Amino acid sequence: MDRYPLTAFGEDDFFTSEENARLAIVGLYRGEIDINTPEYSPSDWWGYAATILMDGITDMGYDRRGFNNDIGKLTSGGLLSSNGNITRLYQRPYRRISSCNRFIANVDKVGTSNAVSRMKAEARFIRACSYFYLASYFHDVPLVTEPLTLEEANNVTKSSRIEVLNFVIKELEEIVELLPRQKDLPGTELGRATAQAALVFLARTYLLTKNYTAAAAACKKIIDWGDNRLHSNYQTLFYPAGKTSSEHIFTTQHIDNEAGYALPQHAFPIKDGGWCLVNGTSILYESYDFLDGTPFSYDDPQFDPDNLGKNRDPRLDYTLIYEGAVFRGTKYICNPESNSSDRFGAGQVTQTGYLLRKYFDESWTGDLNKYGGMVPIARYADVLLMYLEAELEAGNTITQSLLDQTINLVRARVNMPSITDTNPITLRDKIRKERMIELAFEGHRLWDLFRWGIAVERLNLDMYGAPVYVTDQSKIKMKNGQPDPYKRWYANTRAFKTGQEVWPIPQAEQNINPNLR
Amino acid sequence: MINPLNKQRIYTLYDLLNKIPVAMRITLLLLCVFAFQLYSEQTYSQQTKISLNMKNSSIEKILQTIEERSEFYFLYNSKLINVDRKTNIRVKEESIASVLNRLFEAENVEYEVKGTQIILHPKEMNRIASELIAEALQQQKKQIAGKITDEQGEPVIGANIIEKGTTNGTVTDINGNFSLRVEEDAVLYISYIGYLDQEINAIGRTAIDVILQEDTRTLEELVVVGYGIQKKVNVVGSIATVDGKELDGRAQSSVISSLTGKMPGVTITQAGGRPGEQTGTIRVRGIGSFGATPSALILIDGIPGNLTDVNPNDIASISVLKDASSAAIYGARAANGVVLVTTKMGSEGKVAVSYNGYAGVNKPTALPEMVNTWEYAEGLNRAEGITRFTDAEIQAMKDGSMPDLFGNDNYIKEVFSGNGFQTGHDLSVTGGSERSHYYASFGYLNQNGIVPKNNYTRYTGRLNLTSKFTDKLDMAVRLRADNVKTEEPNTAGSIDNTRMMGLIQSSLRFPGYRPAVLSDGSWGGGFKNFGTTQAWLASKSLYERPVVRLNSTVQFNYRPIEGLVISAIGAYNFASTREKMFKASLPIKIDGVEIVLGPSRLEEQFYNTAYKSFQGTVNYMKTFLEAHNIDLLAGYSWEDEMQRNVEASRDNFPSNDLPYLTAGSPENQQNLGGGYDWIIQSFFGRLQYNYRERYLLESTLRYDGSSRFPVNERFGLFPSAAIGWRLSEENFIKDNGKLDFINNLKFKASLGVLGNNNIGNYAYQSVYALGSAYNYPFGGTMMQGARLTTYTDPNLKWETTRTTDAGFEAILWNGILSAEISYFYRYTYDILYTPNASASAIFGLNMSQVNTGELSNRGWEFLLGHQHKIGNVRYGVNANFSYIKNKVETLGLGDVELANGLIGNGSDLFLGYPMQPYYGYKTDGVFMDQADIDSWFAHTDQSAMGANQANTKPGDIRYLDITGPDGVPDGKVDPTYDKVYLGSRIPKYTYGISFNAEYKGFDANIFFQGVGGVSGLLNNYAGFAFWSEGNIQRWQYEGAFNPENPTRYPKYPRLSNPGNAAGVNTQLSDFFVRNASYLRLKNVQIGYTIPRHLLANTFISNIRIYAAAENPYTWHHYPPGWDPEMNSSGEFYPFLKTYTFGLNIKF
C-alpha cells in the first residue's frame, strides 16, 4: 500500500551523490526569489523588491504604493512588529539559513572532493550573507548554525548584533580561501559565489562593526587582485547583456522568460504597460551635479525647465525619465494638463514625475514580468567607494592618488570632473552623495543611512517631484496648499522616528517564542 | 424516498409482507383473498395451450415458467399458498385450467382466471368469499369499473379496492383495471402500499378512474443507507433524504443548487452562479475540521464521485448520512458526512419513455451599480482635494465632446451582457422483462453564462441494467459516459489578470472614462493602456476545459439461501481532462500610435484520472420467532486512484488564430508533468437487530488503511453503535384507541468515531522536491534545483471525529403532522492541522499536517412536515431548521498566546470562537468634525490605522481602543492589542420551508431558504471606493459621509483614495463586516398536467408543462448590487436567478 511522490527524492536517499548535492546548492541560490511574477512583497533579500524597490523608501525614492503599504510603513513612522515586510525579510533569510545548515551538516555524506568543498563554502557564504542582512536591520537576532528540531527552534534566544556580525566575519574570512576567484569562474557558472563576493560582504560587515581598517583591507584585496574592472558604459552595465561584465561581482541572475523578473512591470510608465512603482524624488534629482561639476540649482542658467536632464551628470539620464524624455521610442508625458495616460492622477501613475530608466534595455520587448535583467548585489564601483570611505573613516590620510584610484574612476566613466577635495569632513559628504548617485536603486541607500546614523535627518525631508508647469494651479499637488517656488509637485513627507533604524522582531515570531520579545 | 414496490409484481410485494406492520398486513391479506372473478373475459384462458416438462421443480418455478411462456400472470400470497413444494409436471398442449388442476389437485388451493390474470387462494377462503357473494347478490348491487394509475399514468397493479364498511373488494389487474359490484351509495376505499389512500363516492357512477398520489411520508418509506436499504422508521441514525422526484422533471442544471436548504444540518454554500463551477461546498453538521478538508464523502451508486457530474434526472434518491451510526460504515472518510446518490434502475413492464425539456434564462440576482464616469471624476476630485479632472473633462465625459479621451463606458454592464440562455433535454427509457430490467438515459444541458463566451455544455449517457441469471444469481451493471465542456472568455494583451474571474475583477475595478473604442474604430488603451473589457471579450483569448468521463460498475449478487446475499462489485472510472488557456495579443492605439500588447500565450494541460475499486459484501437477514429481526453485513473494499498529467506552454504566437502549441514561438517552451496515487483498503461490518421493530439496535465497525499514512499508523478503527425505541410499537399505545393517531414515535441515540484523510497524498513523507520553484540560472542557463521545504510528521495518523446524536421522530395522523428533532455533538480531535503559525521561522521549514488540534460542532435540527388534503386540494408544508455552533477547542501544537490574550494562530483560528472568523477592529462610526477628532485623539491615538491626528478628517472611521499591554486600553489602537473577533462566515442558523399543493392537474411548489447569524465582507475592489485606482459604486457615492450633513453612522466613510493598502478607512473592521443573513425565495414552480382523457387516443400517456423561477427574490442586509452569499474582494460571479419553462412527456 505504499505510494511515493513522483517528482521528489525521499530525504533519506537524497545526499547520496554529488549530482544531488548540486541540485541542493542550486536550490540554496534560488532561495525563495520570485521568478516571472511581480514581487508584491519581498521574496528574499536578493530579490528586486528587497533591493531595487527598497530605495523607494529612502530620501531618494518614493514607492508609489505610499505610506499605508507595509513597505512604505518601514520608514514613514508606521513601523509595527506586525508589518508584513519585516516579517518576510526576517523569515525568509532564516528559511535559507535552515536549508544551508542542513546542507552543511549533510553534504559530506556524498564524499569529499573539490566540488563538494566548494559547494559547502557556497552554502556558508549564503548563510553568512543572510546573517549579514538580519544583523544589519534587526540587530540582535538568534544565531543558529546547525539544523534544529522544532522544539529547539521555537526556544532559541537572541545573540547580540556584534556576536552575529563576528560570526559572519569569521565565516567570510574562511570562505574567501575556499571559493574560486572571479577570474577563475567560467562563464557557465556566472551567478555563483566567488572569493570577491565574500570579500565584499566581509567589507560591508566590517563597516557595520566600524572596523574600517579591516573593511579597507578587504576592498583593497579585491582591487589588488585586479580581476574586476569598471564597465565602460554605466548604462549598459545594467542591461541584461551587462551581466558578464567583470564590474559585477555578485548578481541575482535572471534570464528572459525562463527566469525573468517583473521589474519592468513594476517600474515602466503606463504608456509602456507598467505600474510606475519606482519614483525618484527631487532629493535624488537635485543631487546630480551639472556636467561641469557644479552643484545643481534651479536658478542656475544651466537648468533647462524644458529638458530636466540637460547639462547634468549623465547618470541622471541613465537612471531616470521625466517629462518629455524619450523612453522605449516614445516620449514620456506626465503633465496633468496633458491627455497622456501617464499624467499625474489617482492610482498607479507617477507620484513625482521621475520614473526609473536604469536596468532597462529599451530595445527589449517581451513579457514585462519575465525580463532577463539582473539585481546587482555587489559591484566593483561599490568596492571602490567603500574602500575610499573606509580609508577616510579609519582616519587615514586621503591622497589625490587614492581619490583617483577610487571615486574619480567612478566619475570618469561618466565624464564627470575629478574630485580633488582631500578634507575628510567635506569629502565625507561628497563620497556619500557619490554613493547615492552611483548606486541609485541598487538597494544600498537605507543600509547606508542607518549605518551613517543620518536616517532621521534624511528620511524626514519633504519629498517633491519634478517641476510641473501648468496654467491651472489647482491641478498641482502642494504641501499645505503652499505653492512651491520651483513649481515642484509635492509627493509626501515621512515621519521617521529615532529608533526605527532597528526593526522589531516580527510579532508572529515574538508570539511563538517569548525569548525574542 | 425509495419506493421499489411501485410497478413490482405482487408476489414480490407479498414477500415483503413480513416487513410490513401487522395491521397493514392483515388489510392486504384480506383484500387479496377477497378477490372475485366477475364478468371476466375468458377467451384467452380457453384458447391458450401450454406445454411443460419439469421435474422436481418448485410450484413457484413452474408458475414462473408458465408466465414466461404465456401472458398469464399469477397473483397469490406465498404465506397461504405453498409454492416451495416440489413436484413433477409433464403436459402437452393443455389448457391452463388443466395445468392448474394437475398442479394443485391434492392441495387445498383454488384458482380463478380473470383474463390473463390468475388468482390462487386456499379453498376455505374462497368458501367464505362465496358465501359473501351469495349474501351480496341478495341485495341491490351495481357494477362499477375503472382504472387505477399513478401520477405518471402508469397502471397500478394489485391496488386494493374495497367497498367501505364491508369486506367486499378486489384488486386491480396488470393493466390497473378493476371491476366490482357495490351498493348504489357505496364509498370505495382505494389503497396501495406507498400511495395515499383514497375514498371515492360511487353514487351515480359506474366508471371511476383513480390516480393514486404517492405517499411521501408513509411508514413504509425506505431510505438508502450505507450498503443497503432500510425502512425509515427503523433507522436509528440521522439521515437526511431527498427523493429523486424532487429533482425529476425540473429545470435545473445542478443538483447542488436544488439541494440547498432542503435538509436540516446540511449547509450548502456556493460561490456564485458560474456555469459548470457550481460545485459549492457541502458541510454536514458544521465544519468538521480546520486541518484536513472537511468535505462530505460523495458516493454515486457506492463509488466516489462529484455531484456536478450527475444528471439530476437520473437520480432516484439522495441520502445524507449525518451521524456516526449511519456513516461509520464508511469509516475513514465519513467524519464529515456521507452523501449517497442512487441512480434509477429499470423495472419490469412495458417500455416507458420519458422526456423532460426546458428552456430559460439566467439573470444575476444582483449586479453592482457603478456611477457614471463624470460622477467618478467629480468624486475623485472631492476625495483627493485636487483637480484630477477639470470641469471641461468632466463635461466631455457627459457629452462626448472629446470622443477619444473621455467617455462613459460601463464595464460591468459589458461583462455581464451575456444572454444567460439555458436549455436542457433529458430522455430516459425504462422497461424490462422479468429477468432483465434496464434504465437508459441521455441528457443534454447547455447553459450560457451571463458573461459573453461563457458556456457550459454537458452530455450525459447512462445505462443501468439488471439481469437475473438464475433465482440465486443476478447482476447489475451501471455504465455512464459524460462529456462536459466549460468555455470562458479570457483577458488579452498584457494585463496581469487572467481568466474570466480576472476579467470580471478588472471590469469591476477600472473606471470607464477612457473609451474602449476610438473614433477611428481601433481599440483604445483604457485606463491603464492594457485594453478594456470590450476589447478582451472581443479578442481571440479563450479558456476551455473539456472533460470526458467513463464510469462503470458491475455487481454480482448471489443468494445461496434465503436471507443471504453475497455481493461483489467492481468499478472502473476514467476521466480525461484537457484545459486550455490562450491569451491573445491585443492591438491598441495610444496617442495615435498602434502598439500590440502581449505577448500572446497558450497554456495547455492534460490529465487522466483512473479509479479502480473492488468491494465484496456478505449480507444475512433473518427473522427468528417472528420477533427478532437480524441483519448482518460484512465487507471488504479496495480503492486505488491514479492521476497523471502533462502541461505545456508557449508564447508569442504569430497569429491569434492559431492557438495551438506548435504554432507558438519555439523560444520559450515549457512543460511539466507528474501525478499522484493513493490507495484505501477497508474491512467493515454491521449488525442491525430489532425486536418487533420496537427496540432497535445497530452497531458498525470499519477498519481502514490509507496510503496517505505511514505503515505504523496506516489503519484506523472506527466503531459506532446506536439504539432506538419505537414507542409507537408498544402495546400500550397500539392498543389504546385514543392514541391511534400516533403512527410512529421513535427515540434514538447513537455514538461513534469517524475518520478523515482529506490531506495531501504524501503528507508524511519528507522529500527534496524538484520543480520550477527550486531552479536557478547560472551563466544564462537554467539549472535544476531541489529543496526540502516541508517538515512532515512520520507518525501521521487519521483525523478523528467523535459524534453523538440523539433524536426523536413522530408521524401523527397519517402524516398530517410529522416531526423530527435531533441533537448532535461532534468532537474532532487529532486534527490534521498545519501549525505554521506556531513554528518559528528559525525552524526554516513549512509545516505539513500533524495530528493536533480539537474542534467541536454541536447543534439542533428540526424537521416539521404537514401533509393534508382538503377537497381536491392536496398540499404539504415542510420546514427544517438547524442551529450549529462551531467552536475551536484547541490548536494543540499550534496554540500561540497572543499579546491581547487570545489564543490561536493570530489570523483565522482562535480558541473558543468559530472557524472562518473576521478578526479586526471595532469602530464607532465616523468623526463628525475636527473637534470630534481632537477629543478622540486625546484619549485614543489611532494613527496606526493609517492616519495621524493631523491627517485625519471628518468622515474617517473612529476605532475603539480595546486593550493594551497592561490588559486595559492603552490610549492607542494597534493591531497587536485591539483586534477582536467580529463574526464568522459560518451560519449559525440555516432553515428552509417549502409549500406544495396540487389541485386538478395543477401543481405548485414554493421554497424559501435562509441563513442567520452569519457575517460577510465586501472589501477591496468589491467594497472600497477608489481602491487601488478603482471605480466607485453608486451606494458608496451616495452613501458616503457628507461634511455638509454629517452623520455618525453613514453607509460609507468620507470619500478618499485609499491606494491599495489598508488605510484609515479600509481596515478590516465591523464598519465593513456585514450581517450576511438572508431569506431567499429559492424556488417557485407551477405545473399543469393535461387531463388524461384528452390523451386517451394518443400514444402519449402524460404531458406536464411547468414554469419555474429559481432565486427570484432575496431579503438581506447587503449593500445594493451584492448578493448576501457573496464574500468578495473583487473576483465574483453573480448568483443567478433563473426563469424557465419546461415540458415533461411520457410515452
pLDDT tens-digit readout, A273-327: 899 999 999 999 999 999 999 999 999 999 999 999 999 999 999 999 999 999 9
Lowest average pLDDT, out of A62-66, B64-68, B219-223, B1028-1032, goes to: B219-223
Q: What is the mean pLDDT of residues B211-215?
A: 75
Q: Which residues of B touch A257 (CB under 8 A)?
A: 651, 667-668
Q: What is the mean pLDDT of residues B1080-1085?
A: 92
Q: What is the mean pLDDT of residues B961-987?
A: 94
The helix or strand, by DSSP H or E, that contains position B379, with its residue range, turns out to be helix B373-384
Lowest average pLDDT, out of A367-376, B16-25, B378-387, goes to: B16-25
The grid cell for B691 is: 425486536
Cβ pair A142:B842 closer than 8 A: yes
| Strand-pair category, B917-921 with B903-904 | unpaired
Lowest average pLDDT, out of A21-30, A263-272, B246-255, B627-636, goes to: B246-255
Q: Which residues of B touch A150 (CB under 8 A)?
A: 791, 839, 843
Closest to B535 in 3D by CA, of B554, B558, B512: B512
Q: Which residues of A touch B773 (CB under 8 A)?
A: 30
pLDDT of residue B62: 86
Give one word for B276, left, alpha or beta, with left for phi > 0 and alpha for psi -120 to 50: left
Q: What is the mean pLDDT of residues B546-567?
A: 95
Lowest average pLDDT, out of B269-273, B350-354, B603-607, goes to: B269-273
Kindly report the CA angle at A500 between A495 and A504, in degrees rounded to 5?
135
pLDDT of residue B643: 97
pLDDT of residue B222: 84
Q: For A1, which of B598, B714, B840 is closest by C-beta distance?
A: B714
Cβ pair A29:B405 closer than 8 A: no
A91 touches chain B (CB under 8 A): yes
CA distance B146 to B353: 24
CB atoms within 10 A of CB B85: 15
Lowest average pLDDT, out of A199-203, B555-559, B618-622, B1088-1092, goes to: B1088-1092
Say yes or no to pLDDT of B16 above 60.
Answer: no
Give the nearest chain A residue to B679 (CA atoms): A1
Lowest average pLDDT, out of A330-339, B139-148, B752-761, goes to: B139-148
Give the nearest chain B residue to A76 (CA atoms): B946
Q: Which residues of B touch A45 (CB under 8 A)?
A: none
Cβ pair A23:B768 closer than 8 A: yes
First to last CA, chain A: 47
pLDDT of residue B31: 37
Give the nearest chain A residue to B780 (CA atoms): A255
Collapsed DSSP state (helix, strand, coil) of residue B726: strand
The pLDDT tens digits for A377-428 are 999 999 999 999 999 999 999 999 999 999 999 999 999 999 999 999 999 9
Lowest average pLDDT, out of A81-85, B173-177, B426-430, B808-812, goes to: B173-177
Cβ pair A255:B784 closer than 8 A: no
Taking a C-beta distance cutoff of 8 angstroms, is the pair B112, B35 a contact?
yes
pTM of this prediction?
0.85
CA distance B634 to A231: 80
Nearest CA-CA distance, residue A320 and chain B, Å: 21
Give the nearest chain A residue to B641 (CA atoms): A3
A401 touches chain B (CB under 8 A): no
Nearest CA-CA distance, residue A190 and chain B, Å: 4
pLDDT band at B781 (very low <50, low <70, confident <90, very high): very high
Cβ pair A10:B772 closer than 8 A: no
Q: What is the mean pLDDT of chain B?
A: 88
The pLDDT tens digits for A318-333 are 999 999 999 999 999 9
DSSP B389: S
The pLDDT tens digits for B612-669 are 999 999 999 999 998 999 999 999 999 999 999 999 999 999 999 999 999 999 988 9
Say yes or no to pLDDT of B554 above 70.
Answer: yes
A84 touches chain B (CB under 8 A): no
Say yes or no to pLDDT of B215 above 70.
Answer: no
**Residue found under cell 475499486:** B613
Q: How would you class B245 by CB atoms within 10 Å of its CB: exposed for 0-12, middle for 13-18, buried for 19 or more?
A: middle
A19 touches chain B (CB under 8 A): no
Give the nearest chain B residue to A507 (CA atoms): B976
Taking a C-beta distance cutoff of 8 angstroms, is the pair B602, B649 a contact?
yes
Q: For B776, which of A253, A347, A369 is closest by C-beta distance?
A: A253
Q: For B1057, which of A1, A101, A346 is closest by C-beta distance?
A: A346
pLDDT of residue B37: 33
**Residue found under cell 509627493:** A491
Nearest CA-CA distance, residue A195 and chain B, Å: 17
Q: Which residues of A touch B590 (CB under 8 A)?
A: 271, 341
Q: Please indicate whether residue A381 or residue B167 has the higher confidence score (pLDDT).
A: A381
Q: What is the mean pLDDT of residues B318-343?
A: 88
Cβ pair B711:A2 closer than 8 A: yes
pLDDT of residue B64: 83
pLDDT of residue B941: 95
Collapsed DSSP state (helix, strand, coil) of residue A233: coil
A145 touches chain B (CB under 8 A): no
pLDDT of residue B13: 34
Taking a C-beta distance cutoff of 8 angstroms, is the pair B856, B825 a contact?
yes
Cβ pair A5:B765 closer than 8 A: yes
Cβ pair A14:B791 closer than 8 A: no
Give the nearest chain A residue to B1063 (CA atoms): A68
Q: Which residues of A touch B898 (CB under 8 A)?
A: 511
pLDDT of residue B125: 56
Task: Give me the percent of chain A exceeding a pLDDT of 90.
Answer: 96
A409 touches chain B (CB under 8 A): no
Give the nearest chain A residue to B673 (CA atoms): A7
The pLDDT tens digits for B263-281 are 888 888 777 888 887 667 8
Task: Give me the percent of chain B exceeding a pLDDT of 70.
Answer: 93
Taking a C-beta distance cutoff of 8 angstroms, is the pair A442, A52 a contact?
yes
CB contact residues (below 8 A), chain A span 217-256, against chain B = 243, 253-256
Q: Which residues of B touch A492 (CB under 8 A)?
A: none
Q: For A271, which of B590, B791, B974 is closest by C-beta distance?
A: B590
Say yes or no to pLDDT of B140 above 70.
Answer: no
Say yes or no to pLDDT of B42 above 90.
Answer: no
Cβ pair A99:B787 closer than 8 A: yes
Q: How would you class A246 by CB atoms within 10 Å of its CB: exposed for 0-12, middle for 13-18, buried for 19 or more?
A: middle
Q: What is the mean pLDDT of residues A370-374?
A: 95
Say yes or no to pLDDT of A14 above 80.
Answer: yes
The pLDDT tens digits for B674-720 are 999 999 999 999 999 999 999 999 999 999 999 999 999 999 999 99
CB atoms within 10 A of CB B492: 30
Cβ pair A26:B783 closer than 8 A: yes
Whether ipTM > 0.95 holds is yes
| Strand-pair category, B142-150 with B715-726 | unpaired
pLDDT of residue B665: 93
Cβ pair A94:B841 closer than 8 A: yes
Cβ pair A511:B591 closer than 8 A: no
**Whole-number Cα distances in Å, B910 to B401, B473, B919, B963:** 57, 57, 9, 17
Say yes or no to pLDDT of A359 above 90.
Answer: yes
Cβ pair B842:A156 closer than 8 A: yes
Phi, psi (deg, nearest 5) at residue A56: -75, -5
Say yes or no to pLDDT of A45 above 60.
Answer: yes
Cβ pair A23:B785 closer than 8 A: yes
Alpha-helical regions (H) of B303-400: 324-327, 373-384, 391-399
Cβ pair B390:A243 closer than 8 A: no
Cβ pair B779:A347 closer than 8 A: no
Cis ω before B599 (30° cut-off from 0):
yes
Cβ pair A2:B707 closer than 8 A: yes
CA distance B1027 to A93: 32
Mutate to test the interface with B, among A68, A118, A146, A505 (most CBs of B within 10 A): A68
CB contact residues (below 8 A), chain A span 430-449, against chain B = none
Say yes or no to pLDDT of B418 above 70.
Answer: yes
A90 touches chain B (CB under 8 A): yes
Q: What is the mean pLDDT of residues B926-930?
A: 96
Cβ pair A7:B681 closer than 8 A: no
Give the nearest chain A residue to B951 (CA atoms): A480
Q: Which residues of B touch A122 (CB under 8 A)?
A: none
Collapsed DSSP state (helix, strand, coil) of residue A25: helix
DSSP state string for B881-948: EEEEEEEEEE-GGG-EE-TTS-EESSSS-BTTS-SSEEEEE-EEEE--SHHHHHHHHHH-B-GGGT--
Phi, psi (deg, nearest 5) at residue B1096: -55, -40
Task: Give me the percent of chain B exceeding a pLDDT of 90.
Answer: 61
Cβ pair A27:B946 closer than 8 A: no
The pLDDT tens digits for B818-858 are 999 999 999 999 999 999 889 999 999 999 999 999 999 99
Q: Which residues of B touch A366 (CB under 8 A)?
A: 599
Q: For A346, which of B380, B762, B898 is closest by C-beta distance?
A: B380
Q: What is the mean pLDDT of chain A?
A: 96
Cβ pair B899:A511 closer than 8 A: yes
pLDDT band at B12 (very low <50, low <70, confident <90, very high): very low
Handedness of CA B1045, B1046, B1052, B1054 (dihedral sign): positive
Cβ pair B1029:A35 closer than 8 A: no
